[in-house]
Amino acid sequence: MQLPNKTLSFAFFSLLIIGASFLAGTYVGYENRAAILKVSGLINKETPVTSDEMVVDFSPFWETWNAVNEKYVPATNSTTSPGEVTAQDKVWGAIQGLVGSLNDPYSVFLPPADSEVFEENIQGNFGGVGMEIGMRDNTLTVIAPIKDTPAARAGIEAGDQILKIGDEVTADISLEEAVRLIRGEIGTEVTLTILREGRKGSFEVAVKRAVITIPTIDTELRKDGIFVIQLYNFSGQSPRVFRESLREFVLSGSNKLILDLRGNPGGFLEAAVDISSWFLPAGKVIVTEDFGPGKEDLDIIYRSRGYDVFNDNLKMIILVDKGSASASEIVAGALAEHEIADLVGSQTFGKGSVQELIKITADTSLKLTVAHWRTPKGTLISKDGIVPMYVVEMTDEDREKKKDPQLNKAVDLLLSR
């Protein structure tokens, strides 16, 4: 699963390294409080912690901490002894509980082991099955399988709900834990229990793990004169290869363009802005990063850089589906609302939140939702995704017969103009 830097949208997330501590306000100088590791050194916080906005009573936390340390004995069927859970482990668990109280599937505290896996996942090439996953209605859901990967070859589809990973039920599981379970030694298999809309009952899919290399783009000049650009992600190299693809389009002599963003889970915001700028005059709003009520002064408006090389003769369709997320939704929303392109396909995923990766300690991190994306007309992408002007669904029967009614609709529209 690819994660971004500050300019990432995402299914992907932006990375900002800032300082923070869960226990800030509870006591000062955490690094100097070695006594926290000793039950006898714990200090109950009898007086509330105050700030300009709230009064927080931490005494229940300390009462629970002391009770656990003084009285806890593992259940008779437990294989864990009290000594195996350190005081530091309990602190990590407390922070995870704090972040979990937000009920936000994209905000999570990463203790050392999970943080290490997370860092591995943002390096580009990794061992896994090749699919982007997210949370929809608190259910682990496939955003999109990646082209030419084990997941795609095994028949995994965008929108599939993952009920189990091996023997592990995914209810209440975090994205990071799901990634950890899906990843494994290259060449081994992981069995996923899938629930798919339109199909009765759940079923199992065995997928063999492999080194995953994420593709970027494909182009095609069709016999009917329509030029198709299929963009698979918004990586750091996407602006360059997209520019080269546009050059191919111009040299082809065609004025009819299909940009296929189906199954594209997103990537760098920088790439989305750059790609949108080829079609919009300078200064036109592409997307707004909305930091929430009362923080309007922090909002960031991203505008076109004004490459704008096409005139009114351009006829353009963007294909989207439930696997189109994040940066894909930003581009589709911007070009549709500025009336550059019509959208064809099915409703997009709705991944319109922004995450920062906050370094808590040298080996722990906090991934926290800090903002939402709004389209140029102010629509929140996270709420319902984007519904195309021309809604065309793709059925299992279509896939089995290798039919593409969404592409066919886009072709018909372009040839009629």
Per the residue annotation, which of 147, 208, 337, 359 is the catalytic one? 337
Q: Where are the alpha helices (DSSP H) in 72-174?
A: 87-100, 112-121, 150-153
Q: How far is CA 85 from CA 48, 78, 179, 270, 405, in A?
A: 28, 13, 24, 43, 56
Residue 110 DSSP SS3: strand
DSSP state of 323: T
The candidate with the shortest Cα–Cα distance to 263, out of 162, 178, 154, 346, is: 346
Q: Is 367 within 8 Å of 18 (Cβ atoms)? A: no
- Provide the β-strand partners of residue 229: 219, 259
Please indicate whether residue 289 is annotated as part of the active site.
no
Please indicate whether residue 337 is annotated as part of the active site.
yes
Torsion over CA: 214, 365, 168, 266 (sign): negative
Please indicate whether residue 176 is annotated as part of the active site.
no
Q: How far is CA 178 from CA 95, 156, 358, in A?
A: 19, 16, 21
Per the residue annotation, which of 164, 351, 367, 409 is the catalytic one? 351
Chain Cα centroid distance, residue 353: 8
CA distance 277 to 264: 19
∠ Cα 389 394 399 (to 5°): 150
Tokens 């903002």 sit on residue: 371
Helix H or strand E encompassing 136: strand 131-136
State both tokens at 181: 């379970």
The candidate with the shortest Cα–Cα distance to 230, out of 338, 324, 125, is: 324
Helix H or strand E encompassing 332: helix 327-337
Residue 355 DSSP SS3: strand
Q: Is 12 within 8 Å of 268 (Cβ atoms)? A: yes
DSSP state of 298: G
- Provide the β-strand partners of residue 285: 303
State both tokens at 382: 């996270």
Rounded to 5 degrees, φ, ψ at 134 are: -155, -175
Q: How far is CA 289 from CA 19, 330, 352, 410, in A?
A: 22, 11, 9, 31
Per the residue annotation, which of 326, 353, 365, 382 is the catalytic one? 326
Positions marked active-site:
326, 337, 351
